[in-house]
Amino acid sequence: MLRLDRRQFNLGLLATGAAALATPALTGRAVAARPVLVASLLGETKPETKVWLKIRDLVEAALPGLFAFNIVPSAALGGEKDVNEGLRLGAIQASLSTLSALSAWAPESQLFDMPFLFRDAEHVRATTSSKPGEVLKAKLEAQGFILGDYVNYGARHLLAKEPLTRPQDVAGKRLRVIQSPLHATLWESFGAIPVGLPITETYNALATGVVDAMDLTKSAYAGFKLYEVVPDVIETGHIWASGALVYAKPFWNGLSGEEQTIFGNAAREGARHFNALIVAEEVASVKTAKVAGARFHAAEDRDQWVAVASKVWATYADKVGGMEAIEAVRASS
């Protein structure tokens, strides 16, 4: 409890500081700009931060001088769990979150984490744009999150210190997972020992041997320089990492109808921009990682990977609307 109180206190200080930066009187303006504190896990040159620069510019073009964005990169406001708690408190006004991290508040989001369910990025987008995406938006709004739009981080792959190309190679390995029960269950089904850690702690955990492997998208692999500690990438593509551009509900409710429309439109345009940036970032990241010595391997015995991982569907079906919902996604175009 003490840890949470301290984090809330720190978030309050950050929000107050952002307001102090944003509120000095501006020549010729009667109303001070309202602060928008935005958290990003990655650096200033990464899509996770650039998307908020795009949204900032779109809002400023439509509502000049009314909002002052303070975009804080490099996980300076904490990992995903900390940031999402800050959003619910209203101490942070906006961020990008994986749907995996949001499953703590809306278990239905785990539909988008089902291993080997989605064929490609177009299949993911079709699903988030239809009934499953709308249902999840409503569930998360009830928990204090306003989803501006969905984004796609790309496919997740296995990263290790050796080429674990076959399903049986994973058995007994300590594997860092997102702090999500589904991800833990997935790797337990292969005989691995899942260790839930924030992404900000992963590099050191791999470097010191606390964990042996992990899974992540190719763009984030290079973004966090993980090729230095896990040089082998096994291209499993087991989960398509979906996310969302999120506004804090307290912030959203303080906007006028016109302002909500503008922030909503900015998020949708921002999502398209982010998805394009991620595709380019993945290509560049693979090149960077290979130059640094990373080795990329095809996953062997793919049918066996799929057979083991798909057992997770039955385990989590009740949380995401039943096997009917999963099969409907699988069969959709």
Give residue-wise pLDDT tens across range 224-243.
999 999 999 999 999 999 99
- The superfamily (CATH) of domain 2-325 is Bacterial extracellular solute-binding protein, family 7 (3.40.190.170)
Distance CA 11, CA 326 (A): 38
Phi-psi category of 29—alpha, beta or left, where left has phi over 0 and alpha has psi -120 to 50?
A: beta
Other C-beta atoms within 10 Å of 321: how many?
16
pLDDT, the chain, mean: 91
Give residue-wise pLDDT tens across range 289-320.
999 999 999 999 999 999 999 889 999 999 99
pLDDT tops 90 at residue 25: no
| Residue 41 contacts residue 47 (beta carbons within 8 Å) | no
**pLDDT of amino acid 12:** 53
Distance CA 320, CA 134 (A): 13
What is this structure's pTM? 0.85
Q: Which residues contact 140 (CB under 8 A, 6 or more apart)?
A: 102, 105, 106, 109, 146, 147, 244, 246
Distance CA 79, CA 160 (A): 22
Sign of the alpha-carbon dihedral angle for 84, 153, 45, 196: positive
Give residue-wise pLDDT tens across range 209-228.
999 999 999 999 998 999 99
Give residue-wise pLDDT tens across range 272-293.
999 999 999 999 999 999 999 9
User: What does the DSSP assignment read for 142-167?
Assistant: TTTEEEEEEEEEEEEEEEESS---SG
**pLDDT of amino acid 1:** 33
pLDDT tops 60 at residue 80: yes
Nearest to 159 by CA among 210, 232, 228, 229: 232
Distance CA 178, CA 194 (A): 9
